[in-house]
């Protein structure tokens, strides 16, 4: 990085390089501000977790772009209440929901292209607008738009300290090209994500089991800025010990496995632990409503690992997996392939099969086909595992994001106990805990990032103008 590129004075420095950061940088640059983006990732990995996203949950009062029918504020809010069990800040949540409708045309005007719902996701065609090419295409479009607006982007720039004096942000320090640089700006937007990629922090918060968790997204969300702000007394929201975790393919890479590591086979399987024992009702509900609890269930098992076993009857009932499953003609053989004890897995399968009863099987709805006389029961889709070849998938816990974040106002302003910091704003995952205190709603992270990114950009620009 040349010194020229970093030469100030900057009106606004944006910390982070994902969706929220870009929305704020673009908004501020359009308002005439001189904007610097500091992205900690190298260029190929720019964009944080936005790289892995695929859609945007959007309120709309009638058909809008690729979205069908309508999705009103109250229905949207009810969906949020359902997943968060009330752990949300209603005014901020309603602000995000209401603003989402005007965001979609804004996104299109800034280079984002949408496409009709992807195959296998028809249930979202009314509520979620899918990005053509996925989140990385969105990130590329925004970087191009920002570049055209004269925004300067520095990659591999890790912000280590954001300096506050009283109720003002004054400057920040960043590691760039092996040196610590001091960068002054008249306002700052923090959009640097959560701390899920810092395994040490995760294990301190969650417990030692977290060392075995896989991180579904970017390895660059290490929470350095979040920690720095906490140390300086900024107000927080969200449970500091919790993260959103789902059950994913156990063979996924430690970081950045993204969408392809999901496994949709659980409802048609039995899931056993390292000792070959079942531990939970695999057929409790349809998978989109249950994949999140399975992250926790697997995390509670020895070695934080599970094994889903299905037979030939079920192999075509779910989306293909990224790696081929283990496959064998007998349960014992499959167990050996997966490192399990053959006899105990065979016993578990036999007990399960003996508890299955006849009845209609409907893979796409709750069919009530439950077991009788086995613990735990499987309450839907309980068919015997009896038709070779048998298939096995290893399951591990995959962390999507952490809930701990900065408390912000409806102007996206960061607060300390003394009140708002006048020229410091936050957007995206770093403040999402305000609205999403628990659970997750598909496409809502991008909504929060876009809405609050734009608010932060607008407010920061208003502050410097």
Partner 1 sequence: MSTDLIAEARRQTEICNACRYCEGFCSVFPALTRNKAFADGDITHLANLCHNCRGCYYSCQYTAPHEFALNFPAILAEVRQESWERHAWPRPLARFFHECGVAVAAALVAGFALLFGMLQALRPETGHGFYAYLTHGAMVALFLPAFLLPLAALAISLRAYWREIGGKRLQWREVVNAGKSAARLKNLDGGQGQGCNFEREDRYSDRRRWFHQAVMYGFLLCFAATSAGTILHYVFALHAPYGPFSLPKLLGVPGGILLTAGCAGLAWLKTKADPALGAARVWGGEMAFVLLLGATGATGLALYAATGTAAVPVLLALHLGTVLTFFVLLPFTKMVHGFYRFATLLAEEQKQHR
Q: How far is the CB of 218 from partner 1 (least distance, A)?
A: 10
Burial status of residue 390 (CB atoms within 10 A of its CB: 0-12, 13-18, 19 or more): buried
Residue 405 touching partner 1 (CB under 8 A): no
Q: Select the residue interacting with partner 1 from 95, 286, 315, 355 (CB under 8 A).
A: 315
Residue 236 touching partner 1 (CB under 8 A): no
Would you say 144 or 465 has its CB closer to partner 1?
144
Would you say 276 or 392 has its CB closer to partner 1?
392
Residue 284 touching partner 1 (CB under 8 A): no
**Which residues, 6 or more positions from 340, have their beta carbon under 8 angstroms from its beta carbon?**
272, 274, 276, 307
Nearest to 17 by CA among 124, 151, 183, 132: 151
Q: Is 246 helix (H, G, I), strand (E, B) or coil?
A: strand
Burial status of residue 451 (CB atoms within 10 A of its CB: 0-12, 13-18, 19 or more): buried
Residue 115 touching partner 1 (CB under 8 A): yes
Residue 350 touching partner 1 (CB under 8 A): no
Residue 135 touching partner 1 (CB under 8 A): yes
Half-sphere exposure in the Cβ direction for 134 (13 Å, CA): 10
**Which range in 280-288, 316-324, 346-354, 440-448 contacts partner 1 by CB under 8 A?**
316-324
Residue 149 touching partner 1 (CB under 8 A): no
**Which range in 49-57, 75-83, 341-349, 357-365 contacts partner 1 by CB under 8 A?**
49-57
Q: Is 206 helix (H, G, I), strand (E, B) or coil?
A: helix
Pick out residues in 365-384 that bind partner 1 (CB under 8 A).
Answer: none
Q: How far is the CB of 39 from partner 1 (least distance, A)?
A: 15
H or E element in which residue 405 lies: strand 405-406
Q: How far is the CB of 274 from partner 1 (least distance, A)?
A: 26
Tokens of 16: 């982070």
Q: How far apart are the first and last CA of the chain?
A: 29
> Measured between alpha carbons, how far is 14 from 220 in angstroms, rounded to an integer?
16
Half-sphere exposure in the Cβ direction for 2 (13 Å, CA): 3
> Measured between alpha carbons, how far is 448 from 18 in angstroms, rounded to an integer?
12
Which residue do the tokens 């940088």 mark? 25
CB burial string 15-27: b at 16+ within 10 A, e below: bbbbbbbbbbbbb
Q: Prior bond to 92 cis, omega within 30?
A: no
Q: Select the residue interacting with partner 1 from 31, 81, 118, 209 (CB under 8 A).
A: 118
Residue 133 touching partner 1 (CB under 8 A): yes
Residue 216 touching partner 1 (CB under 8 A): no
Number of residues in the chain: 465
Residue 388 touching partner 1 (CB under 8 A): no
Q: Are 145 and 159 in contact (CB under 8 A)?
A: no
Q: How far is the CB of 265 from partner 1 (least distance, A)?
A: 12
Residue 300 touching partner 1 (CB under 8 A): no
Quote the DSSP letter at residue 267: G
Would you say 60 or 136 has its CB closer to partner 1?
136
Q: Select the residue interacting with partner 1 from 3, 4, 119, 360 (CB under 8 A).
A: 119
Residue 320 touching partner 1 (CB under 8 A): yes
The angle formed by the CA atoms of residues 413, 417 and 422, to the nearest 5 degrees, is: 30
Q: How many residues bind partner 1 (CB under 8 A)?
A: 36
Q: How far is the CB of 367 from partner 1 (least distance, A)?
A: 23
Residue 449 touching partner 1 (CB under 8 A): no
Q: Are 389 and 328 in contact (CB under 8 A)?
A: yes
The alpha carbons of the chain give a radius of gyration, in whole angstroms, of 24
Pick out residues in 243-282 that bind partner 1 (CB under 8 A).
Answer: 253, 256, 258-260, 262
Q: Select the residue interacting with partner 1 from 319, 328, 336, 355 (CB under 8 A).
A: 319
Quote the DSSP letter at residue 262: B
Residue 321 touching partner 1 (CB under 8 A): yes
**Which range in 118-126, 229-237, 362-370, 424-432 contacts partner 1 by CB under 8 A?**
118-126
Q: How far is the CB of 42 from partner 1 (least distance, A)?
A: 8
Would you say 48 or 405 has its CB closer to partner 1?
48
**Which residues, 6 or more positions from 255, have their beta carbon under 8 angstroms from its beta carbon?**
197, 214, 215, 217, 218, 219
Q: Select the residue interacting with partner 1 from 9, 62, 208, 324 (CB under 8 A).
A: 324
Would you say 249 or 282 has its CB closer to partner 1?
249
Q: How far is the CB of 376 from partner 1 (least distance, A)?
A: 29
- Written in H, E and C, the secondary structure of 125-157 is CCCEEEECCCHHHHHHHHHHHHHHCCCEEECCE
Would you say 249 or 459 has its CB closer to partner 1?
249
Residue 132 touching partner 1 (CB under 8 A): yes
Residues that bind partner 1 (CB under 8 A): 44-45, 51-52, 54, 113, 115-116, 118-120, 130-137, 140, 143-144, 253, 256, 258-260, 262, 315-316, 319-324
């Amino acid at each position: 990085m040349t010194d020229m590129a970093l030469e100030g004075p900057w009106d606004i420095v944006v910390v982070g390089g994902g969706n929220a950061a870009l929305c704020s940088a673009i908004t501020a640059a359009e308002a005439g501000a001189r904007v610097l983006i500091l992205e900690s990732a190298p260029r190929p990995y720019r964009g944080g977790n936005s790289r892995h996203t695929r859609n945007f949950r959007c309120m709309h009062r009638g058909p809008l772009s690729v979205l069908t029918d309508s999705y009103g504020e109250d229905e949207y809010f009810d969906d949020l209440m359902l997943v968060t069990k009330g752990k949300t800040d209603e005014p901020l949540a309603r602000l995000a929901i209401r603003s989402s409708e005007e965001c979609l045309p804004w996104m299109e005007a800034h280079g984002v292209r949408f496409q009709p719902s992807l195959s296998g996701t028809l249930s979202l065609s009314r509520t979620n607008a899918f990005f053509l090419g996925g989140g990385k295409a969105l990130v590329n479009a925004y970087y191009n738009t920002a570049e055209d607006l004269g925004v300067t982007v520095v990659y591999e720039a890790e912000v280590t300290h954001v300096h506050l004096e009283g109720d003002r942000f004054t400057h920040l320090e960043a590691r760039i090209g092996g040196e610590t640089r001091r960068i002054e700006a008249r306002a700052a937007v923090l959009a640097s994500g959560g701390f899920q990629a810092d395994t040490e922090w995760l294990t301190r918060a969650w417990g030692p089991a977290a060392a075995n968790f896989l991180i579904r997204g970017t390895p660059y969300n290490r929470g350095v800025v979040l920690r720095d702000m906490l140390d300086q007394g900024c107000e927080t929201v969200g449970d500091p010990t919790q993260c959103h975790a789902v059950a994913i393919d156990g063979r996924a890479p430690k970081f950045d496995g993204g969408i392809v590591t999901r496994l949709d086979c659980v409802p048609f399987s039995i899931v056993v632990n390292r000792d070959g024992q079942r531990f939970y009702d695999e057929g409790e509900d349809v998978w989109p409503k249950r994949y999140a609890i399975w992250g926790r269930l697997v995390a509670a098992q020895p070695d934080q690992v599970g094994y889903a076993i299905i037979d030939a009857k079920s192999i075509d009932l779910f989306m293909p997996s990224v790696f081929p499953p283990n496959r064998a003609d007998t349960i014992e053989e499959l167990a050996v392939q997966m490192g399990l004890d053959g006899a105990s897995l065979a016993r578990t399968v036999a007990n399960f099969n003996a508890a299955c009863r006849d009845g209609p099987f409907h893979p796409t709805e709750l069919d009530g086909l439950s077991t009788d006389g086995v613990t735990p029961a499987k309450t839907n889709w309980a068919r015997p595992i009896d038709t070779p070849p048998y298939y096995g998938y290893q399951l591990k816990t995959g962390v999507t994001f952490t809930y701990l974040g900065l408390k912000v106002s409806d102007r996206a302003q960061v607060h300390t106990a003394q009140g708002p910091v006048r020229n410091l704003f936050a957007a995206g995952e770093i403040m999402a805990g305000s609205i999403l205190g628990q659970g997750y709603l598909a496409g809502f992270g991008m909504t929060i990032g876009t809405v609050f990114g734009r608010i932060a950009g607008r407010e920061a620009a208003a502050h410097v103008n």
